[in-house]
């Protein structure tokens, strides 16, 4: 049973436009969520996180939105840049466990 799902394997966006990556989860005990970016032949790099006490967290061009009732989170990248082209993973954990469950990833391609 996959507890964290990223249903879009890939996404293409024009440079300068908004990229929206989606993630759904099934475990209502999850209360801490993260997004990672991964380039080929490198490990995942932490981007941004959000705890369940918030519904939005912003860091520069990256904003994560959390809808607890829908068990859904999204990552917005505005404006998208060619260097954002990578695979993006969402991950979730239960409070205090520091045990993270990852989604399958969405490959973002930003077209110049």
Task: Give start and end residues of each alpha helix (H) in the chain.
Answer: none
Contacts of 60 (CB under 8 A, 6+ apart): none
* Stretch of 12-20, 39-47, 55-63, 70-78 lying at the interface with another protein (CB under 8 A): 39-47
Would you count residue 100 as binding another protein (CB under 8 A)?
yes
Would you count residue 103 as binding another protein (CB under 8 A)?
yes
Of 8, 27, 49, 57, the one binding another protein (CB under 8 A) is: 49
Would you count residue 40 as binding another protein (CB under 8 A)?
no
Alpha carbon distance 98, 38 (integer Å): 20
User: Three-state DSSP class for 82?
Assistant: helix
Would you count residue 41 as binding another protein (CB under 8 A)?
yes
Alpha carbon distance 68, 79 (integer Å): 26
Q: Where do contacts with another protein occur on this chain (CB under 8 A)?
A: 4, 6, 32, 34, 36, 41-46, 49, 89, 91, 98-105
């Amino acid at each position: 049973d996959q507890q964290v799902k990223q249903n879009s394997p890939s996404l293409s966006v024009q440079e300068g436009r908004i990229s929206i990556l989606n993630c759904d989860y099934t475990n209502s005990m999850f209360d801490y969520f993260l997004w990672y970016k991964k380039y080929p032949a490198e490990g995942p790099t932490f981007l941004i996180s959000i705890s369940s006490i918030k519904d939005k967290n912003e860091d520069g061009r990256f904003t994560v939105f959390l809808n607890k009732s829908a068990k859904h989170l999204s990552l917005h990248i505005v404006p998208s840049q060619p260097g954002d082209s990578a695979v993006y993973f969402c991950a979730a954990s239960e409070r205090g466990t520091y045990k993270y469950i990852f989604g399958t990833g969405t490959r973002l391609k930003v077209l110049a």
